[in-house]
Structure 1
Amino acid sequence: MHKRSLRRLAVPAMLAAIAVGLAAPAQAGGAGPGQGQGGKAAAEIVTGTKLEGRTAALTFDDGPNPYDTPRLLEVLKENQVKAVFCLWGDFVKQNPELVRQIVAGGHTLCNHTMNHDNLAAWTPEAIREDLEATSALLHEVAPNVPIPYFRAPYGAWGQSPQVAADLGMQPLGWGFTIEDWETQDPDVLAERLETRLRANPGAVALLHDGPAMDRSGTVEAVARVIPELKAEGWRFHQPDRRG
C-alpha cells in the first residue's frame, strides 16, 4: 500500500451523511451565472442523469490523487467514458498537473470545497467564501474551465445548495455509492458497482479517487465493470442540471 500524506476522511461522519445526501430536500432555484462556473443552476440536489434506460453518471470524490487518479484516467480513456471529478482544494494545490490531465481527458470538474469541511452549520456567507476560493483555485490551475457542479462533503448540505446555485453550480448528490471507504477489495467493489448500477439505471454513482486511502480497488472495479456494461449497451452521461 502506498504511503498517504493525509488521512482526514471521517468515516463515521460519511456513513451518517449518506442518508442526508440521498434525501436532502429541494430548495428554491438560483439563476446567477456565478464566476464563470457553469451557467444557470437551481438549488435542487440532482441524483440522476435525466435520461432513461441503461444510463449512469460516474462521479469521483476527494481527488486528485497522484497514486490512483492517473490509472483511473487511463481506464476511462480506454473505455471512452467521461466522468465528473469532485475536487478537494487542498489536493488541487498539491497536484495541479493532475487537474489539467482531468480536464484534458474531457472530464467535468465539480467543486468539493477547499478543506473538505462539514458545511451543515455554516452561514451562507462562509459557504460562499469557501466555494469561491475553491473555484478560483481551480481556475488558476485550469483557466476558463467550467465548474458546473458542487458537492457538499459528507453530504452535509446545510445552506450550501442555494449558495452553489447562485454561483452557477448545480448541487450534485448521488443515487448510490459503493462504500469504497470501507474496503478496497476489488472483488467486493466490482460486485457492488455492477449490482447497484443495474439496480439504479439513470443514477449518479458516487466513488472515490482521493488520497485519504489506497483507491486501487476502486480503479480496478471500474476497469472490470465498465467494459462489460458498455458491451451491453449502457451509456455514461453527465448528471442532470437544472435552472
Structure 2
Amino acid sequence: MSAITHRGRRPGRRPRRSWVPLMLSVAVCLSAVTLAGPAQAVPANDTIVDSTRRGGNTVALTFDDGPNPADTPRLLEVLRQHRVKAVFCLWGDYVLAHPDIVRAIAADGHVLCNHSMHHDDMASWEPERVRADLLQTSAAIRRAVPGARIPYFRAPYGSWGQSGTVAADLGMQPLGWRLAVADWEPTPADELVRRILEGVTPGAVVLLHDGGGDRSPTVDAVERIIPDLRSRGWRFDLPARRG
C-alpha cells in the first residue's frame, strides 16, 4: 500500500494552486499598458509648450492635420534632404486612412503628436470625453506604428478647454506654438516664406500644416526657409518636452 501523508497527499506532491488571481492581475496590467501606451521618458504637465529645447537661435517645425498623401511624402523628402526633424500632429481619421504614411513619418525619425480623432473643438468637452478621444487617436497611431511614442498633444484650433490637463495625465505634453503663418488659408509660397523669416523669434515653435487641403505652398516654403535660416546661423530643434 502506498504511503500517504497527512491530509491524504502522496509524498513530494505539492498542493495545487489557482492561477486565476495571477492571470487576472496580468490582464489588468496589460490592459492599462495598452490604453496608455509606452511610458514616456519625461513626465508631462499641463503647461502649453511653445519653445524649443535649447532656446537661442533655434526653431522647431511642427505640422498639423496630416497625414496627407498629396503633400506629406514630399515634405518628408524635403526634411530628409536637409536633415531636419519635425513634429507631426496627426489627425486620427487620416491616420486610419493612410497608416503607411504614418509609418514613413516614424521611420524618418520624426516625432508623433496626437491631434485628436476628428479635429473637433474640445473647448467645452468634459474630461471623460476628451480622454476617450485622445485614447482612440493614440490607439490609431499605434495601430500604424506599434509601440510608438507620442510625447505631445495639440488641441485642434488651439482651443484647449480641459484637454491639456487630460493629455498631461496620459503622458502627453500640451504643444502650442509661438508663430503661426496662417498657411491653412490659400497663400503663395513666397508670402509664407516672408511670414516665417520675418516672424520667427529665438526658440520659437512654428505652426505649419501638411494636411487639411492643398499644402504644396507650405512644402515649397519649407524647402526654401531651411537653408535660408541656416545661412543666418539658426538651428533646427524640437519643442521642449516639459513646460
TM-score (normalizing by structure 1): 0.83
1:118 to 116, 121, 129: 121
1:187-206 alignment runs, 5 A limit: 187-197=190-200, 200-206=201-207
Q: Deviations over 1:110-156 (max 9, x none)?
A: 00000000000000000000000100110110011100000000011
Distance of 1:73 and 1:129 partners within structure 2: 30
One of 41, 45, 64 as aligned partner of 1:42: 45
**Which residue number in structure 2 is paired with residue 100 of structure 1?**
103
How far residue 36 of structure 1 moved from its aligned partner, in angstroms, is 1.8
Q: C-alpha offsets along residues 57-92 of structure 1, whole Å, 9 cap, x if unaligned?
A: 100000000000011001100110000000000101
What does 1:145-184 correspond to in 2, within 5 Å? 145-184=148-187
For 1:112 and 1:242, locate their aligned partners in 2 and report how far apart those are by CA, in whole Å. 18
Q: Does 1:240 align with 2:237?
A: no
Quick check: 227-236 or 61-70, which moved more?
227-236
CA contact (8 A) 1:69 1:209 kept: yes
SS at match of 1:82: coil
- Cα distance in 1, alignment partners of residues 162 and 39 from structure 2: 19
Q: Secondary structure at the match of 2:78?
A: helix
* Ranges of 4+ aligned residues in structure 1 off by more than 2 Å: none
SS in structure 1 at match of 2:206? strand
Question: What is the alpha-carbon distance in structure 1 between the residues aligned to residue 151 and residue 234 of structure 2?
Answer: 24
Partner of 2:12: none
Q: Which residue of the partner structure matches residue 65 of structure 2?
A: 62
Distance in 1, Cα, partners of 2:140 & 2:69: 18
Q: Secondary structure at the match of 1:65?
A: coil
3-state SS of 2:60 partner: strand
Aligned length: 208
SS of match in other structure, 1:61: strand
Question: Which runs of structure 2 are paired with 1:20-39 in the superposition (5 Å)?
Answer: 34-36=36-38, 38-39=40-41
1:230 aligns with 2:230: yes
1:204 counterpart SS class = strand
Partner of 1:109: 112
SS class of match (2:217):
helix
* Correspondence for 1:209: 210
1:88/1:115 contact within 8 Å kept: yes
Return the alpha-carbon distance in structure 2 between the equivalents of residues 125 and 228 of structure 1. Answer: 45
- Aligned partners of 1:38 and 1:149 also within 8 Å: no
Offset from partner CA, 1:158-217 (integer Å, 9 cap, x none): 0011100010000000001110022230111111111112xx11010000011x211000
CA–CA distance in structure 2, aligned partners of residues 37 and 189 of structure 1: 37
Instruction: Identify which range, 175-184 or 86-95, moves more after superposition.
Output: 175-184
* Corresponding letter in the other structure for 1:35: G
Q: Which runs of 5+ in 1 are unaligned?
A: 1-32
- Give the CA RMSD over aligned residues: 1.4
Q: What stretches of structure 2 of length at least 5 have no aligned partner?
A: 1-34
Paired with 2:40 and 2:62, the residues of 1 have a C-alpha distance of 17
Separation (CA, whole Å) in 1 of partners of 2:56 and 2:159 = 30
- Give yes or no for contact 1:37–1:147 (8 Å, CA) kept in 2: no
> Are 2:65 and 2:209, in contact at CA under 8 Å, matched by a contact in 1?
yes
Conserved 8 A contact 2:53-2:237: no
State TM-score, norm by structure 2: 0.83
Aligned to 2:31: none
> Aligned equivalents of 1:145 and 1:34: distance in 2?
11
